[in-house]
Amino acid sequence: MDKKATVIGAGNVGATAAMRLAEKELADVVLVDVLEGVPAGKALDLTEAAPIEAHDSRIVGSTNDYAPARDSDVVIITAGIPRKPGMSRDDLLSTNMGIMETVTREVAQVAPQAVLIIVSNPLDAMCHVAHTASGFPKNRVLGMAGVLDSARFRAFIAMELNVSVENTHAFVLGGHGDTMVPLPRYSTVAGIPITELISPERIEALVDRTRNGGAEIVGLLKTGSAYYAPASAAVEMAEAVLKDKKKILPCAALLKGEYGIEDLFIGVPVKLGKEGVEEIIEIELQAAEKEALNRSADAVRTLVADMKRLG
Ligand code: APR
């Protein structure tokens, strides 16, 4: 492949993302982890599946050595510890903050031109750490949350109306967490707003389920958090960058006054291409939606302040 994608953290999300990147032949893939043998083992396993899955992406694994990641076009960072039952994303803050800082510094040294896609939670806060530790311009640091939250909303809309998921579009803004802001008005089925197809009470129920989508899966898995959909979401973003698609997706991006928010990573619609965030798209929000976005921004601001206190 003429592109290289590195995935830091060869756990559930990271290994699944590596598999999808390879199977879609988007890039050669490098898996990095702190665990001895695990990234190499998973990379070899995926390589041995390649003849059956019919792809020619090369996949290599590495323990703590970032040299194979040299000149990566995209780096997806999933390193950290996942949420356990009863744990909020915010509980992960102090541990994942240290991990994010270390790995981003390593990545920045070998792949100074890469676009970073942050997946580790608490997402919006981790984007701040990665942005500072990498020293990268704001367009090359973005967080995966909105694509996942929107996909969950789309899945629930399709289930509700018994229609193809492909007909559904949904927009979820704000921080990745309980304060996310699903926008039913901008969520459509074959172009028709769902507000014309689903009752307000049922929409509220779907919105609620979307907000708690991560916790619902943690509750079922018991020993970890969701990974199939998070990996799909990260790979959709990576694909937009690797193929310079100019695709509009909701991502955590550093706002500099857009939506009236200053110096904060938060989920908004962005145009994704080879430069990363090529444009932040400002959509018209109603007063209640704006208020919800501001509440979400306040929650992220609190986390950022907590990080300053912790470290
Ligand atoms: N460098 C590289 N890898 C690391 C480091 C580090 N400093 N610290 C931890 N890791 C690795 C772990 O060894 C593990 O293999 O990160 C991997 C995380 O994988 P899982 O524990 O399976 O977690 P996962 O479900 O993949 O979630 C990863 O994504 O969705 C978020 O909340 C989730 O923050 C979590 C992250």
One domain for residues 162 and 293: yes
Q: What is the CATH number of the domain that holds 305?
A: 3.90.110.10
- Domain span at residue 117? 4-143
* pLDDT tens sequence across 167-180: 999 989 998 877 88
One domain for residues 136 and 154: no
| Alpha-carbon span 6 to 30, nearest angstrom | 5
One domain for residues 130 and 63: yes
One domain for residues 130 and 215: no
What's the pTM value of the predicted model, to 2 decimals?
0.96
Distance 99 CA to ligand 1 centre (A): 9
Split at pLDDT 50, 70, 90, the class of 309 is: confident
Catalytic residues: 176
One domain for residues 152 and 281: yes
One domain for residues 129 and 166: no
One domain for residues 105 and 165: no
pLDDT at 83 over 80: no
pLDDT at 223 over 70: yes
Report whether residue 230 contacts ligand 1, using a CB cutoff of 6 Å: yes
pLDDT at 62 over 70: yes
Q: Are 108 and 133 in contact (CB under 8 A)?
A: yes
* pLDDT tens sequence across 197-219: 999 999 999 999 999 999 999 99
Domain termination residue (choose one: 114, 143, 172): 143
Domain termination residue (choose one: 143, 158, 174): 143
Q: How many domains does the chain have?
A: 2
Structure tokens at 284: 């018209």
Write the DSSP assignment of 195-232 as a string of letters: GGTS-HHHHHHHHHHHHTHHHHHHHHHSSS---HHHHH
- Percentage of the chain surpassing pLDDT 90? 85
One domain for residues 90 and 232: no
Q: What is the CATH number of the domain that holds 25?
A: 3.40.50.720
One domain for residues 88 and 158: no
Q: What is the mean pLDDT of residues 62-84?
A: 93
One domain for residues 76 and 179: no
Distance 78 CA to ligand 1 centre (A): 5
Q: What is the mean pLDDT of residues 160-188?
A: 91
Distance 13 CA to ligand 1 centre (A): 8
Q: What is the pLDDT of residue 175?
A: 86
Q: What is the pLDDT of residue 270?
A: 97
One domain for residues 166 and 93: no
Q: What is the best residue among 65, 225, 232, 303 to mutate for testing ligand 1's pocket, by most ligand atoms within 8 Å of CB?
A: 225
- Percentage of the chain surpassing pLDDT 70? 97
pLDDT at 292 over 70: yes
One domain for residues 53 and 163: no
Q: What is the mean pLDDT of residues 103-108?
A: 98
Domain termination residue (choose one: 143, 162, 181): 143
Which of 301-307's residues contact partners 24+ apart within 8 Å by CB, and which partners?
Answer: 301/264, 303/90, 303/93, 303/122, 303/124, 303/125, 304/125, 304/128, 304/264, 306/90, 306/93, 306/125, 307/93, 307/97, 307/125, 307/128, 307/129
| Alpha-carbon span 35 to 7, nearest angstrom | 14
Residue type for position 196: E
- Residue minimizing CA distance to atom 2 of ligand 1: 33
Write the DSSP assignment of the chain as a string of letters: ---EEEEE--SHHHHHHHHHHHHTT--EEEEEESSSSHHHHHHHHHHHHHHHHT----EEEEES--GGGTT-SEEEE--S-PPPTT--GGGGHHHHHHHHHHHHHHHHHH-TTPEEEE-SSSHHHHHHHHHHHH---GGGEEE-SHHHHHHHHHHHHHHHHT--GGGEE--EEB-SSTT-EE-GGG-EETTEEGGGTS-HHHHHHHHHHHHTHHHHHHHHHSSS---HHHHHHHHHHHHHHHTT--EEEEEEEEEESGGG-EEEEEEEEEEEETTEEEEE------HHHHHHHHHHHHHHHHHHHHHHHH-
